[in-house]
Structure 1
Amino acid sequence: MYITITAQKLGKTYAQSAAEFVEYLEKENQGLEWEEMEHFFNQYSDEISAENVIKEIDDNTAKLKKVEPKFYSITVNPSKYELRKLQNSSEDLKRYTRAIMKDYASSFNRDINGKPITVDDIKYFAKIEHQRTFKGTDRQVRENQPFATKILKLKKEIWKIENDELTGNIKQLKSEIAKLEASAPHQSRGLGRKRIVQGMQKEGSQSHIHIIVSRKDASNSVSLSPGSKYRSSEVMLNGKMVKRGFDRDSFFTKAEKTFDATFGYKRNYAESYQSKKDFIKNPKLYFSVLLGLPASEKAIAFKILGKSGVPIASIPTNKVQVALKTIRYLKRGVEVAIKSGSIGI
């Protein structure tokens, strides 16, 4: 599971309307009939129109300044292992969304009219997506880039030959391009293998959740920021002591436990939120726990890490070998693996 919470920025300023973000989230619905679409939903309603989402979010910004976020985006990305536990990806992910939004509400260190915040105080709209495309920052695209550069150069040569700006053998150049295409390290696995490029659709189950959360509560009177640096504190405001802050650590922990309880998922240490915290705070402890797992769980952990590009052969085989040099060597690969298989900090 990988969860992110971000304020929606346009350059140096925050988006003043949810319109562009909502339009982006509607991309998978283009060309589909109403009954075939994935619609926006919230805690109690389904099939909410994009227009209504924009209006509800944009009208819920009382007293917010231009330099303050109007809404936040929460993205929930289950791993392929977690997705396998779902019977019906759309309905199951809707159910999970509604459950973790209760976790989200309970992670605020705030009261509204003397009562703890509940999900009914949160104004949000969510949408399930089933597709993902490769970005320029993805490892597969980056490692294919040297081949892409050479291919582009050869294609330019062919264009110049065809336009009498250069002399050369077009057939030979096309043959070189074909060899480069086939030699690129990352290829699609479907019919007609192709070099992975930016914008290409990713294969396999890619279902994930996008949630738009208003900065203001449902009454449009209280500001609720999940970006607050004040995890759990009190401050004097208008002569009153008020609580403030959002505990992200608590939210991420609850979200993971909610998934496991909801779908009966047996989580391996290598894909847990706790493992990511261990790795960041104490890498030596991380490897020690990893190596101390029962044989069957350790085999699964190594498989998870291996699928994510970690050089398994270089992982120490016993606790004595957990040395600083080894940790530094593996750090980058393990960071990728942890990011792809656990909740982000």
Structure 2
Amino acid sequence: MYITITPQKLGSKYAQSSADFVGYLEKENQGLKQQEMEHFFNQYSDEIPAEEVVKEIDGNTAKLKKKEPKFYSITVSPSKYELNRLQNNSQDLKTYTRELMKDYVASFNREINGRAITIDEIKYYAKIEYQRTFKGTDKEIRENQPYATKIVQLKNKIRTIEQGRREGDIKWMEKQIAKLERQAPHQQNGKRIVQGMPKSGNQSHIHIIVSRKDASNTFSLSPGSKHKASEVKMHGKKVKRGFDRDTFFAKAEKTFDKTFGYKRNFAETYKARKTFVKNTNAYFNALMKLPANEKALAFKIIGKTGMPILPNIPVSQTQLALRVFKRLRRGAEVAIKSSSIGI
């Protein structure tokens, strides 16, 4: 489970309207009939029109300055193992979203009129998407890039030959292009993976737009607060403040597991990913103490993330393996950032 919470920006400035973001989330509905479309939903309603989402989010920004985020985007990306546990992607992910947003609310250390905030006091809209495309930052694109560069160079040469501006053997160049296409390390359905290509398999994920202001448009509820749950004195009174992101991520996993009867492996936990970055030794020791079947699954899961691990590590080579894991720390920081609030 990877969850990101980010304030929406246009370049270096915060978006003053949710219209562009909502429009972006409508992309999978293009060309579909009304009954085939995936609609926005919230805690109690389904099939909410995009226009209503924009109107409600944009109209809930009282007293917020231009330099402050008006809304946050939460992206929830279950792993393929988690998705395989679902019976009905659309309905199950809606059910999970509604439970997840209760966890979101519970992670605020805030009170409204002297009581803890509830799910009814936040304004959010969610949408399920089923497709993902390869981006320039993906490992597959980065490692295919040298081949892509050579292919582009050869195609440019062929073009200049066809235009009569140079001489050369076009057939030989076309054979070289075909060879490079096959040699590229990352392929999908027999084709070189390129930027913008749809990813195969179940890519279901959830996008959530949540207003910075509470539903009454009175109180500011920022998940980007730099303060964890704490109390401070303001005007002689104790005031609660903060959002505990660690609590939110931990609850998000437990809620999924409880809702769908999912048995989470050590390598899938937010706690494990965080330990990996902060204390490689502790992570490695915990991994090696797992029962044989759980350890085998853990290595399989880690391998799917693209990290070059040693599949079977003898006890006598513990130090060697530990050095390998330490070299992976930088790569793991990307994964842990995917499970944090990017501000």
Report the counterpart of residue 285 of structure 2 in structure 1: 288
**Partner SS for 1:6:** strand
Describe the superposition over 1:248-294 as per-residue Cα deviations: whole angstroms up to 9, x where unpaired.
Answer: 01100000000000001000001111101211221101000000100
Q: Secondary structure at the match of 1:234?
A: strand
Contact 2:5–2:340 (8 Å) recurs in 1 = no
SS in 2 for 1:74: strand
1:249 matches 2:246: yes
What residue in structure 2 maps to residue 28 of structure 1?
A: 28
Aligned residue identity for 1:113: N
Aligned pair count reads 340
- What SS class does the counterpart of residue 187 from structure 2 fall into? coil
Match of 1:216 in 2: 213
Q: Which residue of 1 aligns with 2:164?
A: 164
1:127 aligned residue: 127
What secondary structure does 2:188 align onto? coil
Q: Give the secondary-structure state (helix, strand or coil) at the position aligned to 2:137.
A: coil
Q: Quick check: 1:182 aligned with 2:182?
A: yes
Amino acid at match of 1:179: K
Match of 1:109 in 2: 109
Q: Match for residue 324 of structure 2?
A: 326
| 1:196 matched to 2:188 | no
- Determine which of 300, 304, 308 is the counterpart of 2:305: 308
1:8, distance to aligned residue in structure 2 (A): 0.5
Cα shift readout 1:285-328 (whole Å, capped 9, x = no counterpart): 10000001000100101111122222232774338724663332
Compared CA separation, residues 334 and 215, structure 1 to 2 (3 A): closer
Give yes or no for contact 2:257–2:264 (8 Å, CA) kept in 1: yes
**Paired position in structure 2 for 1:43:** 43
Give the AA of the match of 2:202: S
Q: Per-residue displacement from partner, 1:151-183 (whole Å, max 9, x unpaired)?
A: 000000011011111111111111111111111
Q: CA deviation at 1:87?
A: 0.4
How far apart, CA to CA, are the structure 1 residues paired with 2:283 and 2:37? 43
Q: Would you say 1:146 and 2:143 are equivalent positions?
A: no
Q: 1:221: Cα distance to partner? A: 0.0
Moved more, 312-321 or 199-208: 312-321
Structure 1 counterpart of 2:257, one-letter code: D
- Tell me the secondary structure at the aligned position of residue 327 of structure 1: helix
SS of match in other structure, 1:231: coil
Supply the AA of the counterpart residue of 1:277.
Answer: K
- The two structures have a TM-score, normalised by structure 2, of 0.95
Aligned counterparts of 2:24 and 2:312: Cα–Cα separation in 1: 41
Name the SS for the 1:44 alignment partner.
Answer: coil
Unaligned runs of 5+ in 1: none
Return the alpha-carbon distance in structure 2 between the equivalents of residues 211 and 109 of structure 1.
21
Question: 1:238 Cα shift?
Answer: 5.1
Worse-superposed segment, 85-94 or 315-324? 315-324
Q: CA deviation at 1:235?
A: 3.1
Please give the alpha-carbon distance, in whole angstroms, between the structure 1 residues aligned to 2:132 and 2:151.
25
Shift of 1:124: 0.2
Equivalent residue in structure 1 for 2:267, among 265, 270, 275: 270
Distance 1:316 1:335, change over 3 A: farther
Give the AA of the match of 2:328.
L
One-letter identity of the residue aligned with 1:26: E
Asked whether the 8 Å contact 1:316–1:326 carries over to 2, the reply is: no
TM-score of the superposed pair, with normalisation by structure 1: 0.94
Deviation at 1:12, TM superposition (A): 1.4
Q: Give the Cα–Cα distance (whole angstroms) in 2 for the partners of residues 227 and 333 of structure 1.
A: 24
Deviation at residue 131 of structure 1 after TM alignment: 0.1
**Equivalent residue number for residue 260 of structure 1:** 257
Taking structure 1 as reference, are residues 217 and 322 closer, same or farther at Cα in structure 2, changes over 3 Å only? Answer: farther
Equivalent position of 1:73 in the other structure = 73
The share of aligned pairs that are identical, in percent, is 66
Relative to structure 1, the CA distance from residue 275 to residue 317 in structure 2 (aligned partners, 3 Å threshold; closer, same or farther) is farther
Q: Could you tell me whether the CA contact under 8 Å between 1:291 and 1:317 is conserved in 2?
A: no
The separation in 2 between residues aligned to 1:178 and 1:288, in whole angstroms, is: 46
SS at match of 1:72: strand
Equivalent position amino acid for 1:128 in 2: I
In the alignment, is the contact (CA less than 8 A) between 2:277 and 2:329 conserved in 1?
Answer: no
Partner of 1:206: 203
Given that 1:104 and 1:251 are in contact with CA atoms closer than 8 Å, whether structure 2 keeps it comes out as yes
